[in-house]
Structure 1
Amino acid sequence: MQGRNISDIIEAYLKEILAESARVEIKRSEIAELFNCVPSQINYVIKTRFTIQRGYLVQSKRGGGGYIRIEKVKLLDDRDMLDTMIQLIGEQINQRDALSLVQKLYDDQVIERKEANLILAATSRETLAVADRQLEERLRARILIGILNHLRYERE
């Protein structure tokens, strides 16, 4: 496991469980104990690696009987997925979330590698080159929504 950090290891462990079952329900403290890390590390992995953009739905309940439930999202077809992505983007999106979204499109074979790379180039911080972070994220959202709408209508 050389070269892998604890977040990668925790992610791999949870994905291994999800490969056997469509849903996993965990206790944050138990997983933290298993990997000898702080519970906030588990939160970090779930928040950054198990997002709707990557095809996961996360629900949690706090308190004594609390849990974190992770489900693999199954959308009916590409159009449903594209509609969901458009809703998730909203008015603005940061570069990290845009990358996750494009990765999901590629993983689900909605777009090819070349298209993915072109989208990432068009939405990169360097290409947008604006000093105002909110403006950059709004521009990125508009570009991605335009692309997703094009993909949506192209497939009808």
Structure 2
Amino acid sequence: MNRLFYIVAIVTILLSACQSDSKKYTTVDSSIMSNQQAPYKSPDECFIYTKNRDTATLLMYGSADKILGELRYNFYEKDKNSGVIYGVLKGDTITVDYKFQSEGVYSHREIVWVRKGDTLLEGSGDVYEENGNVKFKNKRKLTFGKGIVFTKTKCK
């Protein structure tokens, strides 16, 4: 078994164990990574965002055009959230689904980054909710570089 399977399995089990009837929960769909051949030993890339007292970290595992990873936002005096991402890489654009927990509530939203050298610029724009999932209305109209900018860092 590869490390990716263990990561997805552990996260799914942990999220299931924390679930109560009053909380919304969606499972992690690992089928997007099902055709992977190479085992994952450590993250392929790591990124960090820091501004004043706000931080965010991103660990990405991937092969070719598929991405899997862990994402954590820690904004000063705001709810922390952390979870898993999975998605695709097309050219310089990474589009992922982010399944996360914040204050005991499970949520799901779409994130789009554009890679510029050793940085990832997080996209922002109008969103809508569909079956509990937050998605962008029009990805072609996203704004990049005005919000969170992740910088590549050494993986630990």
TM-score, normalising length from structure 1?
0.26
* TM-score scaled by length of structure 2: 0.26
- If each structure's strand is expressed as a fraction of its own residues, which one has the higher value? 2
Larger Rg: 1
More helix by share: 1
